[in-house]
C-alpha cells in the first residue's frame, strides 16, 4: 500500500518586512492598553477607590467649614449627608453632639464621642496647628474601614466647634471579580480584532512601499520607462518624487553615456583613420619626396592635435562633473586672465592671422575660480577662432560696475542660426554649415563653459546673427 504524502507548504513570514513589523507594533500597542486596563481595574481599583473617597470627603469637609455660621449651614449639612451617604456631625469642645440632634436631645444629656477618639481626631489639630486631618480607621466591631474627616470650624460664644465626617469604604472585591470576568472576554475579543485590524492597516500602509520596491527592481533590470506611483501619504509622495527624479537623472546619464560613446568613437575613429592613411602614404608614396612627406606629416600632426584636444576636453569635463576639483573663488583682475589666455594662443602659428583687441573699462576685478575662468575664456576665444574663417577680427570686452563684471568675446564670423543657438551648449553639438573644414573643434568646449558657469552661478549666453558674427558673454560678481 502506497501512501501519498502531501507536502504542506508553510507560510513564510518575513520578520524584517514592514508588514510584519507594523502588525507587531499594532498588536503590542493593543496588548499594552489591555494590560493597563487590567492593572487599573483590578490591581489598583481598591487603592484608587480609597483615594477618590478621601478626595470627596476632603472636598465636602472644606466646603462645609467655609460655610460655617452661614444661615443655611445646617441645611447644607443635611443635604451632603443625604446625597453623599456620609455621616456628618458637629461637636463642641467637650465632644458633645451639636448637630444632628434628636427630638429630646436638647432636654436630656446630648450624646458624646468617646473622649479617647475625640482627643485622637481633634486634639491633634491644635497641637499640630492644623485646620483639618484625614484618617483611615478600621474598627474591630466593623467589617469595613472608614474615612474620617476631622476639622476645626471655629469659636461661637467662646466655645470651639468641630466638624466630623465619616465615610464607610464599601468592599470592591465583588466588583473586581465581575470586572475581571468581563475583561477576560473583552481582552480576547480585542486582541483578535486588533490583530485583524493591524494586518489590514499594515498591509495598506506597506502597499505603496512594496509597489515602489517592485518598480525599483524593474528599473534595475533596465526598464527606464517605469514610474514610481504616488500613495496616500505625504511622505510616500515625497519619496516617489525623489525616486522619479533620480530615475530621470539616471536615464539622462545613460543617454549621455551612449551619446558620449558614439561621439567619442566617431571623433577618435576619423583622426586615427587619417593618421593611418597618411602614414601608409608616407611609407609607400612620399617617402623620398621631402615636400610631399612634410605635407603628409603636417596632416598627421594636425590630427594628433585634434585627438589631444579631445582627450584634454574629456579629462577636464570628467573632473568638473565628478566634482574632483572644488570651486576656489578669489578676487582678481579679469583683464590679467584675458592676457594670460592670449599668450597661450601665441604659440599657434595661425595666431598672427587674427587681430585681437582688448577693451576694458572700470574696475575689472571678479570673484571666481581663476583657473576655471581662464578655461572659459580660452574656450570662447578658441570657438571664435574656429568660426571666423574670413573676418579674423576678434574683440574681447570687459565691462564693470559696482556689483558685477562682464566679459564679451565678439567675433565677425559665420554667426549662428536661431535653430542652432538652442543646442550649442550641449555636448558634441557643432554648427556644421559654412565651415572652412569639416567638424571644427571637439564639440565639448561650450558645454564645458556652460558647466563652469553653472558651478559659479554666473549668467552666460550668446547674441548672434547668421552671417554677422557672435557675442559670447558671461557676467560674474565681485
Which residue, 182, 181, 188, 238, is CA-closest to 208? 238
pLDDT value at residue 5:
41
The Cα–Cα gap between 125 and 148 comes to 14
The values of phi and psi at residue 147, to 5°, are -100, 120
- What pLDDT does residue 276 have? 80
DSSP sequence for 133-201? EEEEE--TT-SS-EEEEEEEEEEETTEEEEEEEEEE----HHHHHHHHHHHHHHHHHHHHHHHHHHHHH
What pLDDT shows up at residue 195?
82
Cα 169 to its chain centre, rounded Å, is 56
pLDDT of residue 440: 54
The structural architecture, per CATH, of the domain 44-168 is 2-Layer Sandwich (3.30)
**pLDDT for the residue 166:** 94
What is the predicted pLDDT for the residue at 264?
65
Consecutive 10-residue averages of pLDDT for the chain (478 residues): 44 71 81 81 77 92 92 90 91 87 53 86 88 88 86 91 92 74 83 83 82 87 85 83 87 74 65 77 74 80 77 75 77 93 82 88 92 92 86 91 93 89 80 46 82 93 92 94
Return the C-alpha cell found at 348.
599657434
Residue 136 to residues 112, 121, 124, 222, 430, Cα–Cα distance (Å): 21, 11, 15, 79, 100
175: CB partners within 8 A, 6+ apart = 45
Cell of 57: 470627603
Give the pLDDT confidence score for residue 102 in this predicted structure: 52
Q: What is the pLDDT of residue 460?
A: 96
pLDDT of residue 441: 62
The answer regarding whether domain 327-477 maps to CATH 3.30.565.10 reads yes
Overall pTM surpassing 0.85 (yes/no): no
- Residue 399 is predicted with a pLDDT of 93
Classify domain 227-325 at the CATH class level: mainly alpha
Amino acid at each position: 500500500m502506497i501512501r501519498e504524502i502531501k507536502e504542506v507548504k508553510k507560510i513564510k513570514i518575513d520578520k524584517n518586512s514592514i508588514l510584519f513589523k507594523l502588525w507587531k507594533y499594532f498588536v503590542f500597542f493593543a496588548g499594552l492598553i489591555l494590560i493597563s486596563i487590567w492593572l487599573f481595574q483590578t490591581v489598583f481599583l481598591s487603592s484608587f477607590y480609597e483615594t477618590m473617597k478621601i478626595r470627596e470627603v476632603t472636598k465636602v469637609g472644606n466646603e462645609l467649614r467655609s460655610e460655617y455660621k452661614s444661615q443655611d449651614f445646617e441645611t447644607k449639612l443635611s443635604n451632603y449627608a443625604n446625597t453623599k451617604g456620609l455621616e456628618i456631625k458637629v461637636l463642641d469642645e467637650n465632644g458633645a453632639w451639636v448637630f444632628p440632634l434628636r427630638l429630646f436631645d436638647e432636654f436630656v444629656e446630648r450624646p458624646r464621642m468617646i473622649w479617647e477618639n475625640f482627643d485622637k481626631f481633634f486634639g491633634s489639630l491644635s497641637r499640630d496647628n492644623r485646620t483639618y486631618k484625614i484618617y483611615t480607621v478600621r474598627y474591630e466591631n466593623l467589617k469595613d474601614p472608614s474615612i474620617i474627616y476631622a476639622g476645626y470650624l471655629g469659636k461661637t460664644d467662646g466655645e470651639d466647634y468641630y466638624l466630623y465626617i465619616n465615610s464607610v469604604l464599601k468592599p470592591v472585591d465583588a466588583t473586581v471579580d465581575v470586572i475581571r470576568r468581563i475583561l477576560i472576554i473583552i481582552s480576547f475579543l480585542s486582541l483578535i480584532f486588533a490583530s485583524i485590524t493591524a494586518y489590514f492597516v499594515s498591509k495598506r500602509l506597506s502597499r505603496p512601499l512594496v509597489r515602489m520596491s517592485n518598480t525599483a527592481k524593474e528599473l534595475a533590470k533596465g526598464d527606464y520607462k517605469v514610474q514610481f506611483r504616488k500613495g496616500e501619504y505625504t511622505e510616500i509622495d515625497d519619496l516617489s518624487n525623489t525616486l522619479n527624479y533620480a530615475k530621470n537623472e539616471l536615464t539622462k546619464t545613460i543617454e549621455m553615456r551612449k551619446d558620449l560613446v558614439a561621439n567619442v568613437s566617431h571623433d577618435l575613429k576619423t583622426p586615427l583613420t587619417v593618421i593611418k592613411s597618411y602614414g601608409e602614404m608616407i611609407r609607400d608614396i612620399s617617402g623620398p619626396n621631402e615636400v610631399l612627406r612634410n605635407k603628409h606629416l603636417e596632416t598627421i600632426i594636425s590630427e594628433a592635435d585634434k585627438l589631444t584636444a579631445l582627450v584634454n576636453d574629456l579629462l577636464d569635463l570628467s573632473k568638473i562633473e565628478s566634482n574632483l576639483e572644488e570651486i576656489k573663488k578669489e578676487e582678481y583682475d579679469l583683464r590679467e586672465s584675458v592676457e594670460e589666455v592670449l599668450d597661450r594662443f601665441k604659440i599657434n602659428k595661425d595666431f598672427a592671422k587674427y587681430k585681437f583687441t582688448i577693451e576694458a573699462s572700470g574696475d575689472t576685478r571678479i570673484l571666481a575660480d581663476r583657473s576655471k575662468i581662464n578655461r572659459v575664456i580660452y574656450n570662447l576665444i578658441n570657438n571664435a577662432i574656429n568660426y571666423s574663417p574670413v573676418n579674423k577680427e576678434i574683440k574681447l570686452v570687459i565691462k564693470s560696475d559696482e556689483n558685477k563684471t562682464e566679459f564679451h568675446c565678439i567675433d565677425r564670423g559665420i554667426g549662428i542660426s536661431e535653430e542652432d543657438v538652442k543646442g550649442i551648449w550641449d555636448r558634441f553639438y557643432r554648427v556644421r554649415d559654412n565651415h572652412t573644414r569639416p567638424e571644427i573643434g571637439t564639440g565639448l568646449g561650450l558645454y564645458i563653459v556652460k558647466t563652469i558657469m553653472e558651478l559659479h552661478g554666473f549668467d552666460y549666453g550668446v547674441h548672434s546673427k547668421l552671417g554677422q558674427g557672435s557675442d559670447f558673454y558671461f557676467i560674474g560678481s565681485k
